[in-house]
Amino acid sequence: MRVETVADGVHLVRASAVNWVIVDDGDAITLIDGGYPADAGALAASLAAVGRTPQDVAAALLTHAHVDHVGGLAALTRHHDIPVLTGETEARHARREFLEQAGPADIVRNAWRPRVLLWALHAARLGALRSVTLPEAHAAGTGHLPGRPVPVATPGHTSGHTAYLLPDAGVLVSGDALVTGHPTSPRTGPQRLPAFFDHDPEQAAGALDTLGTLDAGILLPGHGPAWRGTPADAVRRASRRAGGPW
């Protein structure tokens, strides 16, 4: 787990296979996503690394409810009273009223790609096959939270996928709608995840257009390193590569 401070009070945490974000306004913290089930210890350690405790977390926001983004969070919220917020649709996903996630069959179909096989084995060790639910997840406003995050509906990867713009810091937290790397990809730089990870790849392409209209100078994705540049430029680079070899 590595913690990188990318802007005043904004920290990108990079665990072994997924990222989360800590936003600190000096009073309290907004946490965005929370890693695999096996990342629970790293999640607590990342708060300690920025001088915080779980009691300082005003709320946890979800970009989406895939197991690699909510697993560690589920453990944290079992022990601490932390509101879990996202949009209406993704809140239902987080409560597991439905599940939109690549399953073992999707992985097996793609396992002839060595990177996919290696990633799948690592993900399984991190708890990817465990069923995780956040029964308390609900929809609510976020403007009062540290960083004044603005939710941006970016459906496609999941039906309720939500990106978050941090206007004061000029940071866009893009979740899995736009990433800058992934263990299944040989490339770094703005890109889309392999299509089999998207619930609706066509809709996910539309979400990129939405992201491209936003005003920010730093992109913090769900997977891969922080990237400096405008969302429009990031989207251009990601679109150029769409459909290419991975």
Which residues bind to Zn ion, rule: CB under 5 A?
66, 176
| Beta carbon of residue 36, minimum distance to Zn ion (angstroms, whole number) | 11
- Which is nearer to Zn ion, 29 or 67 (by Cβ)? 67
| Beta carbon of residue 109, minimum distance to Zn ion (angstroms, whole number) | 18
| Beta carbon of residue 55, minimum distance to Zn ion (angstroms, whole number) | 28
- Which is nearer to Zn ion, 90 or 176 (by Cβ)? 176
Phi and psi, residue 204, nearest 5°: -65, -35
| Beta carbon of residue 25, minimum distance to Zn ion (angstroms, whole number) | 27
Q: Return contacts of 74-82, CB within 8 angstroms, 24+ apart.
A: 74/34, 74/37, 74/132, 74/133, 74/134, 75/37, 75/40, 75/43, 76/34, 76/40, 76/43, 76/44, 77/134, 77/136, 79/54, 80/54, 80/55, 82/31, 82/54, 82/57
Rounded-to-integer distance, Cα 228 and Cα 223, Å: 15
- Which is nearer to Zn ion, 7 or 174 (by Cβ)? 174
- Which is nearer to Zn ion, 169 or 208 (by Cβ)? 208
